[in-house]
Structure 1
Amino acid sequence: MLAAERQARIVEEIHRRGAVRVIEFAQMLGVSDMTIRRDLDALAQQGLLDKVHGGATRARSASTEEPGFEAKSLRQQPEKEAIANAAVELVSPGTAVGLSAGTTTWALAHALRAVDGLTIVTNSMRIADVLHAPPRTDQNVVVVGGVRTPSDALVGPIAVSALAQLHLDIVFLGVHGMAETAGFTTPNLLEADTDRALVAAGRRLVVLADHTKWGTVGLSTIARLSDAHVVITDDGLPGDGREALAEHVDDLRIVKVEAVR
């Protein structure tokens, strides 16, 4: 198979599935992992896809783009894990915790399993599955209902109404983008409403966002930068992002990512 034909197959599969791993491409096309990585480099340079840890996803585009959970879960995996490990240090046994839907908060959910006696409220079935997985813990998990989005969030009036009745010690918010003027944003209007209700239910807001979120602006604002008590991001954050967040946020925590990006 010629390189051009192979790369066309890669783009077609990415558009069909949203995300594919290198090992899957290699097996599908009968070539080495290194060949696939070179193909992904070439296609990424043309803007036809986004390279991520272990594979590729559809190229990011407009403010209304909403990738599925699987596609997002492949992006910035080492960064998300480092952010989650830093975030879990903010949680004490017996705390009432809110977790928005998202792949960074999903990573945090794995770490939270080690903390005793938590009550965790989430609008994500993916996060609930992590917290209910064996071996079972002594945590109480509350899942608010609603309409399911492409990113596997449960959103809408039912979720907003349920969250309005709750009082949480700390809320961890994952976001689609963050920028100085737009604040923390999402491409989904219903998800923005639900996330705002979750933020309002918490006494303390912690935003979890890897460096690629800086400068990305979704359709709807969830909160201003200054609404966050803590922002945890990674050391890939550019200088203008560091300056803006340091100016607006009381506590900016930048974690070092050891893995090669």
Structure 2
Amino acid sequence: MAERGMLAGRRRALIMDTVRTHGEVRVADLVDRLGVSDMTIRRDLDALAADGVLDKVHGGAVARTGAATADEPWFEAKAPLAAAAKTAIAAAAADLVEPGSVVALSAGSTTYAVATQLLGVPRLTVVTNSLPIADVLRAADRDRAGDAPTLLLTGGTPTRSAALVGPIADQALANLHVDLLILGTHGVSERAGLSTPNLAEGQTNRALIAAARRVAVVADHTKWGVAGLAGFAALDTVDVFVTDDGIPTAARDVLADHVGELIVVPATD
């Protein structure tokens, strides 16, 4: 059925869901399904290929899996992808947070979704190296007259994913202790574990993990099989892994064998 009038971010999320499910997609099929022009679909595929999440081939595109990448997408490009899955994952992750606790949120579009779910948790302190998350918390503090989580923002150098990274961020985190880290990731695989295209962000993620008593990873199904240039944690270091029901059965089996607890939430677009 054609889905006319759809915004680019929504189209691209559906394209990525198709690629991850079937391994490939054809331009002609997308034109028929989405009710847009051949040129529009090709522009969408160009944008997704530039973000490093698929490879264009003659007549369509295929999933990019296994090969390590150093191509780092912009935060604004990632945010619309798999939006329904990220919302469902964020709600489940927010249930892990206790009132009055100290929580760290790494940078990322899924952790950003988690931040929006935490605004009503009383007496919460949030440590983050994410500029968009900091903006959400600052706006909540302004609008709710102090009845919002307390924000602790690391310093550092901003990346394309709007993360503050580098020695300043790492040193700030070295002196902190948090109850729970909610951690995003660019890619997840059995061999590479958790990974990111950015070497400095990988190091700062390691500093976040070192500061945390418990680690919960939030990652939608499109992250499975993706390997960034810099690995920053093995699956065995994860206490809780929250994902959506689009993740393949084989991936669930691998995660169940390695992480402390696997939470799979239903997510439909």
Q: Is 1:99 the counterpart of 2:71 in the alignment?
A: no
TM-fit CA distance, 1:242 = 0.6
In the alignment, which of 136, 148, 165 is matched to residue 155 of structure 1?
165
* Corresponding residue SS for 1:252: strand
Asked if the contact 1:20–1:57 (Cα under 8 Å) also holds between the matched residues in 2, the reply is no
Asked if the contact 1:225–1:249 (Cα under 8 Å) also holds between the matched residues in 2, the reply is yes
TM-fit CA distance, 1:138 = 3.8
TM-fit CA distance, 1:35 = 4.2
Q: Is 1:146 the counterpart of 2:150 in the alignment?
A: no
Asked if the contact 2:51–2:72 (Cα under 8 Å) also holds between the matched residues in 1, the reply is no
CA distance change for structure 1 residues 140 and 238 in 2, over 3 Å: closer, same or farther?
same
TM-fit CA distance, 1:241 = 0.7
TM-fit CA distance, 1:48 = 3.4
Asked if the contact 2:119–2:148 (Cα under 8 Å) also holds between the matched residues in 1, the reply is no
1:212-241: CA deviation from partner (whole Å, max 9, x where unpaired):
100000001111001000000000001221
Asked if the contact 2:137–2:148 (Cα under 8 Å) also holds between the matched residues in 1, the reply is no
* Corresponding residue SS for 1:75: coil
Q: Is 1:60 the counterpart of 2:73 in the alignment?
A: no
CA distance change for structure 1 residues 138 and 21 in 2, over 3 Å: closer, same or farther?
closer
Q: Is 1:84 the counterpart of 2:90 in the alignment?
A: yes
Q: Tell me the equivalent position of 1:116.
A: 122
Q: Tell me the equivalent position of 1:74.
A: 80
TM-fit CA distance, 1:60 = 2.3
In the alignment, which of 129, 139, 144 is matched to residue 135 of structure 2?
129
Q: Tell me the equivalent position of 2:23.
A: none
Q: Tell me the equivalent position of 2:61.
A: none
Asked if the contact 2:52–2:73 (Cα under 8 Å) also holds between the matched residues in 1, the reply is no
Which amino acid counterpart does residue 232 of structure 1 have in structure 2? Answer: V
CA distance change for structure 1 residues 156 and 141 in 2, over 3 Å: closer, same or farther?
same
Asked if the contact 1:183–1:221 (Cα under 8 Å) also holds between the matched residues in 2, the reply is yes
Asked if the contact 1:105–1:208 (Cα under 8 Å) also holds between the matched residues in 2, the reply is yes
CA distance change for structure 1 residues 241 and 115 in 2, over 3 Å: closer, same or farther?
same
* Corresponding residue SS for 2:69: coil
Q: Tell me the equivalent position of 1:242.
A: 252
Which amino acid counterpart does residue 53 of structure 2 have in structure 1? Answer: R
* Corresponding residue SS for 2:228: coil
Q: Tell me the equivalent position of 1:16.
A: none
Asked if the contact 1:153–1:191 (Cα under 8 Å) also holds between the matched residues in 2, the reply is yes
Which amino acid counterpart does residue 36 of structure 1 have in structure 2? Answer: V
TM-fit CA distance, 1:38 = 6.1
Which amino acid counterpart does residue 198 of structure 1 have in structure 2? Answer: L
TM-fit CA distance, 1:39 = 5.0
Q: Tell me the equivalent position of 1:12.
A: none
Query: Matched residues, percent identical?
Result: 46
TM-score, length basis structure 1: 0.80
Asked if the contact 1:123–1:155 (Cα under 8 Å) also holds between the matched residues in 2, the reply is yes
Count of matched residue pairs: 225
How do 1:196-211 residues align onto structure 2 when only pairs under 5 Å count? Answer: 196-211=206-221
Asked if the contact 1:231–1:253 (Cα under 8 Å) also holds between the matched residues in 2, the reply is yes
